Each structure stands twice: as C-alpha cells, then as structure tokens.
Structure 1
Amino acid sequence: MNGKDAPQLRPYPQHPPKSLDALSAKLIGNGLAGVNQELLECRIGQVGYFRLKGYWYPFLTSVSEESAKRSLPFRQGTQFQDIWDRYLFDQELRMLVFDGIVTIEIYLKSFLAHELSVFGGEFGYMTREGLPGLSYDAHLACLSSLRSSFTKSNLPYLRHFRNTYSDPLPPYWMIVGCLSYGTLKENFYQGAPDHIKRKLATQLHIFNPNPNPDVRGDAKILSNWLETIRQARNMTAHHDRFWNESSIRIAPKLPKHRSGSHAKGWWGNDWDIFRKSSGPAAFLTMENYLLSQIDGPAWRKKFISLMSKYPQIPKSDMGFPDGWEMSPLWCVDDPSH
C-alpha cells in the first residue's frame, strides 16, 4: 500500500473516564432494565465497561435501517440478566473449549515425541535430517527456541536432566513437556516428515479421497485445523469473546463435498450443514470431531450439557443451523462411523 492509498487516520476521540456510578446510571437511563444501580456498578467493576459492552451491543438500537452499527439507547425491554447470561455462557464456553484443546495438545505431544524419536532417534531434532520439514534457518531457530524453553523450565524432570546429564538438550519425550502449543506445532509438527503427518491425520480420521492407506491421511486439512486450534487457544487463554466470534481465524477448512457414486461413505459430506455458517460452530464441531477420536464422547457430553444449560443463547449467532444436534458429527460417539 503506497502513501496515496493509506487510510486517513484520525485521533481517538476523547472519552474522559467516568465513575462506576455514572456509567451504571448512564446505562439504566438509556433503558437497561431488570437491574439496580448498585448491582450494575458491581458488575461493571468486576468485568469492565468496555468488555461488557461486547455482550450488550446486540441489544442496542440500530443507527439506521441501512446500517449494522448500533448505539444507545437499548432496545425496549432489554433485561440486564439476558446480557449477563451471555457473559457467563461465554466464560463457561471458553473454559470448555480450552479444556478440549489441552486434551488435543497432550495427544499431539505424545504422538510426535514417539513418532519422531522412532524416525530419527531420541535426539533426532538436533539435526535437520530429524526434522526434514524445516529449512536450514528454521532448524536453527528451532534449536534456539528449544534451548530457551528447556533452560527456563522448572519441571522437576528437566531440572534433574540439567543437573545429571551432559547432553545440551533432553530426548523428545522430555522436551515436549516444556513446549508451548505454538512451539510444538511450528517445530515438531512442521518439521516432521510427510508420512508422520499423514499417519497423524489418519489416526484422527482426517481423510482425503485416495484409498491408498499409506497416503489417505489429509495433512493439508490437519495442518489447517492445528492452526485454527492455535488461534482458538490464544483467544480462550486471553479471555476474548468467543461465543459469537465471526472472523475466519477460527474457521477450519472443511473436507470437500463429493457427489454421485463417490459420496457413499465419504466423511466430508457430513460437514455440509456448516459450509455457509459463520461463528464458532464449525470450529466447535471440528474440536468435537478430534476429541471423539482421542477421548470418545466425554467432551461432547459436556458441550451438549452446557448448551442445554443456556437455552436462551441464540444458537444461530454461533453458526449452528437448526437440527445440528442430530447431525452425524454430533449425535454419534464415533463421528467416522
């Protein structure tokens, strides 16, 4: 973008800080019902006015019929409890999403540590041959990152390794314990040979149309899913609003639709109801799909229970179509059927 095309930026408009009682009085004065000023002050102090605004924004009046922008006052009949329920639901949803990601992350660490050590030896990552998917510079960066993580770690077994052995770094099955999800994905998954990536995809029932079992795992979709998980992990860890997130950063790539004689038994067609949806529904379905392969139906049961706990939450805002619970991806314990 050259200077002529650059957007004309303007200073942020002045918003002098207001007291909690002034902020709560402003909201109540603009039609927020079902709450007294004392409780509203407490909630604003607990969560923050700006953060809570993301949950009451849909309840504001439209600026105009043509514009999607909204502003005070609230729509007539807006109850604070409806706003607070969305906040509580989002909080519980983030915790559940993160809990599922932890299960996936631990599985990835276990799988990659085992497969890469079998492929290149327990210290195989010390050479580029052990991580053929990395360039020369990327491998150097990998070693630097691993040394930093290892040196800073206070895990008992890593402290014991540092104090006992002369090796500069520990074997795969130890070092994965101190790696962040991003470091694991960027170095060990990205650096793994293609056959290990395809094996991981196959074990997670992520398939391409090729019937050859040696290449059936779809590493392209798997790589995309692992990246969307990284994005969602960051969102949930940093408490970003999640329940109606509509950006593509957590939109997983879906397997292509197949028709005719090729459609029979094709797992990709089960995803058809999510191809045009926005919101986190496709991500949540993908997370459930992976967890079903790793840990059975445990996470799905928790998710269904959470959705049942908050029936007032608009599922369409999450991207869920009518009847989603009965789709093959949600109504069976083994979505690969």
Structure 2
Amino acid sequence: MRRFTKPAISVAEQLTLLKQRGLQIQDEERAALFLEAVSFFRLTPYMRPFQPSEDPDHSFAPGTGFRQLSQLYDFDRRLRLLVMDAIERVEVAIRAAISNHMGPLHGAHWYLESRLFKRRYDHHRLLRTIRDKQQKAQQDYDREARRIDQLAHADEHRKQLLKQRRAQESYARHYALTYDDPELMPGWAMFEELTLGELSHLFKGLARDSDKKAIARRLAVPAPLLESWLHTLATVRNICAHHARLWNRELGIKPERPRSQDFLWPEYLRRPGQHTRIAIVLAALHHLMRQVSPHTRWHLRLAELLQEFPDIPIQAMGLPQGWLEDGFWQ
C-alpha cells in the first residue's frame, strides 16, 4: 500500500497529458468539449486498447487519434442502449411468465407462501421489500393528502378529488389504502416492485422444479439455462444503467451455454472459452427476443450498429468475423 499522490488536473491539462502520451488531436476545441461532457476518467477504459500493456507510461500506439477514442465510446454507448432495450423487453416478459404461471396455479398471493420457495431463499427479505414499498407508498400519500388539505383555494369536493387521484398513482399506494387482508399486494403487482436482480433470485429460489420448467417453457429455454441467463442479465443491466464499458468486458457472471445440440445456438459459441464476453449475452437476448416478440428486428439493429462502426475490433466482444452468417442469426 502507498499514498495516493495524483493531482486533479484541468481539461486543458488533460489534453496536454494525452498529447504527451502520443495521442493525435486534430481539433483541440472539440476534444475539450468531449472531455467536459464525458470526463477523462470515464474515457480511460476506452484508451487501453490503444495503449501497449507493457508500457508503464500509458503511451498510445503510433497513429492513434482522439477520434478513435470518441468513436469507440460512442459505439459502446449505443451498444448499451440496444442491449438495455432488449433487456427491458425480456425482463417484462419474464415477470409476466412467472406471474401467469404461479398466480393461477397457487393463488393471487402465492408469494406469501414460504413452502413455494427453497429453504435457503431469503423469503423474509422478499416480504420485507414489498412491505417497505407499501409503507413508503402510503407515507407519500399521507404527506400529499396533508398538503392538499392545506390548499386555501380548493373546496372540499376539489380536495377529495385530488386525493382520489393521488391514491391511484401507484398500485402499492392503492392497495395499502384499500385492503388490509392480506397485508401485502397480490403477486402480479408485487413483481412490478422488484429489481431484475431480485427477480432473478426469486426464480432461482422457487422450490418446485415443475414450476421453474413450466415458466422456462414459455420462453423456450431449459430452466437451468434461464436461471443462469437471468443472473447474467441482471449484472449486464447494472453495467448499462451505470453507463459503464460493455463492448469488451470480461463477464464476471458467466452464463451457461445450451447443452443440447438441438437448441438453436451460434456454432462459434459452442466452442470452449467463448462464453465470457458480451457475444453470449447478445445471443441469449436474441433468443429471448424471438420468444417475446416474434417479429423482432433487434438483431438487425445490432448488425446495423456493427456495420456503422467497421473499425471496432469485434473479436474483443467474442464475435468472430462473419458472425452474422451463422444460421442462428438468419
């Protein structure tokens, strides 16, 4: 361990530092505006592909220009938006798939039953999360109702109308104000209060294999594969939500590959060592998108994005040359 001594430097000093490291900057004013909007620190991961790893001074490879960094950053930003779009669609569909199976089979408030979950699943935490959501919703309503009561220009009829509108602004608020038995909202509403990570844990925590298999069949995947993919998608969603680098990231949560040869899957992802990059997430999202939106053009938008940025080294994403020609993408 040692003492941190790096000084904070201005944008002008950042540009000077980049030029000292060998970066070519044709338009310094434009580069300065980019750094003002993005920040040097956020741009740093996009510099590394252009800096020899053995160089302790972080020098750039000869011929590297600022435009290459900004283009790589822009590509990654648009890739995150595309991935986030698919994850949103898939997440909503998975919530519906679980709810549409568990509700009719086990009742409107099925998630209150601890017997439907594995022993190691933190069922109390789930209930505490939903209880806290309802309590906060009611507290917010009570605070707004007090403000409405203090309106000097509104008569009682107008105040009651405003309160009714506030009461309907969320189901958590409506349920807390309308029902007291059971204490917590029904399962279909509960799902809207969970993060994707919590949803992933809930699916993993279901006790009955028959339930998990039935839910997974709605998305045309084996249950263990859906469980693994959900875990990974929750991590990838967090990466996208925090605007972090995605295009060449080594996945910390490595998703499982389909084991059956009958499962339609890219041939380049059946080989060992190819499932630690974003390529496997793109394939999983394409498969799931085809189930939730059979006429999807998401894969075409992905192809168009890569065609728009032909200089992006797609091997760092886990994609081989000619990846789009694989039958999986046709």
Sort the TM-score into its range (normalised by shorter chain). Answer: 0.7 to 0.9
| In 2, Cα distance between equivalents of 1:152 and 1:98 | 28
Contact 1:128-1:136 at 8 Å conserved across structures:
no
Who is 2:307 aligned against? 308
Please give the per-residue CA displacement for 1:4-62, whole angstroms capped at 9, x wherever unaligned.
xxxxxx12541011111111111123321143332222222211112111111111234
Q: Compute the TM-score of the two structures, normalised by the length of structure 1.
A: 0.81
Give the 3 Å change call, closer, same or farther, for CA 21–142 of structure 1 in structure 2. Answer: same
Mapping of residues 234-245 of structure 1, within 5 Å: 234-245=238-249
Contact 1:113-1:173 at 8 Å conserved across structures:
yes
| In 2, Cα distance between equivalents of 1:150 and 1:104 | 26
Contact 2:101-2:214 at 8 Å conserved across structures:
no
Give the 3 Å change call, closer, same or farther, for CA 90–136 of structure 1 in structure 2. Answer: closer
Shift of 1:223: 0.8
Shift of 1:230: 0.8
Who is 2:175 aligned against? 161
What one-letter code is carried by the residue in structure 2 that aligns with 1:288?
A: H
Kindly report structure 1 stretches of 4+ aligned residues shifted beyond 4 Å. none
| In 2, Cα distance between equivalents of 1:239 and 1:177 | 23
Who is 2:74 aligned against? 88
Q: Compute the TM-score of the two structures, normalised by the length of structure 2.
A: 0.83
For 1:256, which of 252, 256, 259 is the aligned residue?
259
| In 2, Cα distance between equivalents of 1:188 and 1:255 | 19
For 2:235, which of 221, 231, 234 is the aligned residue?
231
Who is 1:215 aligned against? none
For 1:43, which of 28, 34, 37 is the aligned residue?
34
Please give the per-residue CA displacement for 1:296-321, whole angstroms capped at 9, x wherever unaligned.
23321221221222122111111101
Shift of 1:233: 0.9
Please give the per-residue CA displacement for 1:205-233, whole angstroms capped at 9, x wherever unaligned.
22xxxxxxxxxxx2212111110111111
Please give the per-residue CA displacement for 1:213-272, whole angstroms capped at 9, x wherever unaligned.
xxxxx22121111101111111111111000002342x32102365xxxxxxx126x343
**Is 1:98 aligned to 2:87, yes or no?**
no
Q: Number of residue pairs matched?
A: 295
RMSD value, Cα: 2.1
| In 2, Cα distance between equivalents of 1:62 and 1:101 | 33
| In 2, Cα distance between equivalents of 1:127 and 1:178 | 18
**Partner SS state of residue 52, structure 2:** strand
**Is 1:185 aligned to 2:191, yes or no?**
no
**Is 1:204 aligned to 2:219, yes or no?**
yes
Please give the per-residue CA displacement for 1:260-286, whole angstroms capped at 9, x wherever unaligned.
xxxxxx126x34312332421111111
Q: Which runs of 5+ in 2 are unaligned?
A: 141-168
**Is 1:272 aligned to 2:275, yes or no?**
no
Who is 2:123 aligned against? 139
What one-letter code is carried by the residue in structure 2 that aligns with 1:305?
A: E
**Partner SS state of residue 61, structure 1:** coil
Q: Which moved more, 1:38-47 or 1:73-82?
A: 38-47
Shift of 1:156: 2.2
| In 2, Cα distance between equivalents of 1:156 and 1:33 | 53
Shift of 1:94: 0.7
Contact 1:90-1:241 at 8 Å conserved across structures:
yes
Shift of 1:108: 1.2
Q: Which runs of 5+ in 1 are unaligned?
A: 1-9, 64-68, 207-217, 259-265, 332-337
Who is 1:21 aligned against? 12
Who is 2:95 aligned against? 109
Contact 2:80-2:240 at 8 Å conserved across structures:
yes
Contact 1:104-1:294 at 8 Å conserved across structures:
yes
